[in-house]
Amino acid sequence: MSAPLLTLTDTRLTFGATPLLTGADLIVRENERIGLVGRNGSGKSSFLKIAAGIIEADSGERFVHPGSTLRYLPQEPDLAGYDSVITYIRDGLAPGDDAYRADYLAEHLGLDPEADPATLSGGEARRAALARTLAPQPDILLLDEPTNHLDLPAIEWLESELNAHRGALVLISHDRRFLENLTRQTIWIDRGTTRRLDRGFAHFESWRDEVFEAEELERHKLERQIAREEDWMRYGVTARRKRNVRRVGELQSMKSDLKNWRGPQGAASLSVSEADRSGKLVIEAEHISKAYDGRPIFTDLSIKIARGDRIALVGPNGAGKTTLIKVLTGQIEPDSGSVKLGTNLEIASLDQRRAALKPEWTVTEAIAPGGGERIEVAGKTKHVQAYMKDFLFSPEQARTPVHALSGGERARLMLARALALPSNLLVLDEPTNDLDLETLDLLEELIGDYNGTALLVSHDRDFIDRTATMTIAWESDGVWQVYAGGYSDMIDQRGEGVKARKAEEKAARASKAKTDKPKTKSSGKLSFKDKHALETLPGEIETIEAKLAQLETELADATLFTKNPERFNAATKEHAQLTEDKAAKEERWLELEMLREEIEGG
């Protein structure tokens, strides 16, 4: 077993009067892939910041192996002081790092390298921070929710990139499929301490349930033992006085243990207020089309949605998923075609931007907009604070303003608002953002048991697989296709996942460049960047070819999959990524060589 690269021992941290970490440990060795899991509020992000050296624990020891490099992805990056995105990304590189990595990552994450950081959206800033973190290829990567604000193509690309990463990885994510595909070890933060499972996240939930069952059994044993001791104290034959004093002390100790026993953190309790049944036909769209600024969002799309359907819309960012939802629900008109809504529809919506929450509202005002202390949910009248408790809000948070809530708390608050409204059509636009895994479980069960119809927009593949009965997938600008089942079913029928819009746009630009190419010869000269790329790309291509040859030799071993399936899968993914990188570098070198010949010929 290799020496640890990073160690945290007996880490303790308290916020205010509340202990957050009460003895948490972490050991990271070479090439380990660790999923850091736990409920919202359990201290995962704080623990990762301590590991990164961003904040200091109240007590405990932190050790980083001398010479080891470490990079941390924050949830809220600061790009102030940089004049462009590419400058910010390159500033994360160390001497000797490959400068091309910054450009490569910016392109694959859909970033404009020359954009002013001050103009970036929150999602773009997160992607820039991700590029800066990945660029140096450090020994240890600490990633806090890296899939936030990424679309499906980018998430699948990131999986491939991290699978090919040769260093260690510690990952916090609410995306089950992402965790399952990347992790080989799991650290669980539970009630202030950590437990380690030397298996990936795919095995975590069954292990967690076994732990809870064993704890519950121990609690019942303790209760029975206390009952027997109390019975002996009342009715047993009097023993020697010393023995009585000892047993009284033991009984008090057992009672203290039971009083201080901390069970698992409570789960959210989700229920939905259902209106009267809608008609059998909920939405019928015939030959609808919509375009913005000359770009088609959808063209000649027809679909029928019946009561009880769970429809998932999937596609890259910018494809028009939210626009399609708004057209289907009658919020905006199509440019052509018709949308017919069924009878007796009552719609409840969850907006991905949490736009329905005003920052100055308190939690109580957000849940009960009309005021009052009671709210009707699922046909029953509940006290507002009791409903708050269902969504894991404490009574002390009743007057907390929305702007002071965490991302996870805002997500739960939006769910509380949406699910309290009587509905027979749920429209959930990115409902999984910032929800912990246990709350996601409950949301999936709620959607499965819902008697109405649900329209879902999500980049969470596992969530789609568990909830959707039909998937509408973006194919290319203006073209959408309907598939039966969830995301995995779509891949089985289609043969691939969601494509990136940039691939379509790149092909369109290349086609346009061919037709619009000017007949006059180019004048001028190659830029320094282009000259450098022209000189270095052949060497980079040779390096990739050498790596590919090594991988091909390894994969040629017919016993590799049987002996080490994890290595087989990693090698296969690395081979695919390197093949893609090689093709991109060859294409770039060819473009530059042609440009050089054109300039010299002029």
**DSSP symbols for 515-556:** HH--SSPP-S---HHHHHHHHHHHHHHHHHHHHHHHHHHHHT
C-alpha–C-alpha distance, residues 50 and 10, integer Å: 12
| 444 vs 289, higher pLDDT | 289
The two beta strands, 281-292 and 295-306, are antiparallel
Q: Please state the φ and ψ torsions of residue 266, each to the nearest 5 degrees.
A: -60, 145
Which residue type is seen at 45? S
Which residue type is seen at 60? G
Distance of CA 303 to the CA centre of its chain: 30
Sorting pLDDT into bands at 50, 70 and 90, what band is 257?
Answer: low
Is residue 127 within 8 A of residue 82, CB to CB? The reply is: no
Sorting pLDDT into bands at 50, 70 and 90, what band is 518?
Answer: very low
Cβ within 8 Å of residue 289, ≥6 positions away: 296, 298, 299, 300, 301, 334, 335, 336, 337, 478
Nearest to 503 by CA among 319, 320, 322: 319
| Number of C-beta neighbours around residue 482 at 10 A | 14
C-alpha–C-alpha distance, residues 367 and 347, integer Å: 17
pLDDT for the residue numbered 262: 59
For the segment 301-319, the average pLDDT, to the nearest whole number, is: 91
| Number of C-beta neighbours around residue 582 at 10 A | 18
If DSSP codes are grouped into helix, strand and coil, which group holds residue 85? helix
Is residue 574 within 8 A of residue 555, CB to CB? The reply is: no
| 322 vs 6, higher pLDDT | 6
- Kindly provide the b/e burial profile for residues 50-62, where b requires at least 16 CB atoms within 10 angstroms of the residue's own CB: bbbeeeebeebeb
For the segment 428-437, the average pLDDT, to the nearest whole number, is: 79
For the chain, give every domain's residue range.
4-206, 219-259, 281-502, 518-601
Sorting pLDDT into bands at 50, 70 and 90, what band is 511?
Answer: very low
pLDDT for the residue numbered 23: 92
pLDDT for the residue numbered 239: 46
Q: Is the pLDDT of residue 101 over 50?
A: yes
Q: Calculate the alpha carbon distances from 323 to 329, 331, 333, 370 in Å.
A: 10, 9, 10, 30
pLDDT for the residue numbered 365: 82
Give this prediction's pTM: 0.70
C-alpha–C-alpha distance, residues 68 and 2, integer Å: 14
Is residue 28 within 8 A of residue 39, CB to CB? The reply is: no
pLDDT for the residue numbered 272: 66
**What is the percent of the chain with per-residue pLDDT over 70, rounded to a whole number?**
84
N- to C-terminal Cα separation, the chain: 62
Sorting pLDDT into bands at 50, 70 and 90, what band is 203?
Answer: very high
For the segment 491-516, the average pLDDT, to the nearest whole number, is: 62
pLDDT for the residue numbered 263: 56
The architecture CATH gives domain 281-502: 3-Layer(aba) Sandwich (3.40)
Is residue 182 within 8 A of residue 160, CB to CB? The reply is: no
Of 128-142, 331-345, 536-550, give the lowest mean pLDDT range.
Answer: 536-550
Domain 518-601 has CATH 1.10.287.380: yes
pLDDT for the residue numbered 247: 60
Equal CATH topology for 281-502 and 518-601: no
| 504 vs 64, higher pLDDT | 64
- What is the pLDDT of the chain when averaged over all its residues? 82
Of 203-207, 250-254, 464-468, 521-525, give the lowest mean pLDDT range.
Answer: 521-525
Nearest to 297 by CA among 331, 338, 339, 327: 327
Residue 158, Ramachandran bin (φ over 0: left; ψ between -120 and 50: alpha; else beta): alpha
Is residue 330 within 8 A of residue 399, CB to CB? The reply is: no
Q: Is the pLDDT of residue 461 over 80?
A: yes
Is residue 148 within 8 A of residue 73, CB to CB? The reply is: no
Sorting pLDDT into bands at 50, 70 and 90, what band is 507?
Answer: very low
The superfamily in CATH containing domain 4-206 is P-loop containing nucleotide triphosphate hydrolases (3.40.50.300)
For the segment 254-278, the average pLDDT, to the nearest whole number, is: 62
pLDDT for the residue numbered 346: 87
Q: What angle do CA 389, 391, 392 make, to 5 degrees?
A: 60
Q: Is the pLDDT of residue 276 over 50?
A: yes
pLDDT for the residue numbered 509: 43
Cβ within 8 Å of residue 467, ≥6 positions away: 310, 312, 444, 447, 448, 454, 456, 486
pLDDT digits (tens, 9 = 90+) for 150-177: 888 889 999 999 999 989 999 999 899 9
Sorting pLDDT into bands at 50, 70 and 90, what band is 572?
Answer: confident
Cβ within 8 Å of residue 423, ≥6 positions away: 272, 273, 274, 275, 346, 347, 348, 452
pLDDT for the residue numbered 488: 92
Is residue 540 within 8 A of residue 103, CB to CB? The reply is: no
CA torsion sign for 32, 38, 42, 45 is positive
Which residue type is seen at 412? R
Distance of CA 478 to the CA centre of its chain: 28
Q: Please state the φ and ψ torsions of residue 481, each to the nearest 5 degrees.
A: -130, 140
Q: Is the pLDDT of residue 516 over 60?
A: no
Is residue 282 within 8 A of residue 339, CB to CB? The reply is: no
pLDDT digits (tens, 9 = 90+) for 10-53: 999 997 767 889 999 999 999 999 999 988 778 899 999 999 99
C-alpha–C-alpha distance, residues 411 and 145, integer Å: 15
Q: Is the pLDDT of residue 378 over 90?
A: no
pLDDT for the residue numbered 513: 43
For the segment 109-117, the average pLDDT, to the nearest whole number, is: 90
285, two tokens: 């769209």
C-alpha–C-alpha distance, residues 229 and 204, integer Å: 37
pLDDT for the residue numbered 227: 72
Q: Is the pLDDT of residue 568 over 50?
A: yes
Q: Is the pLDDT of residue 139 over 80?
A: yes
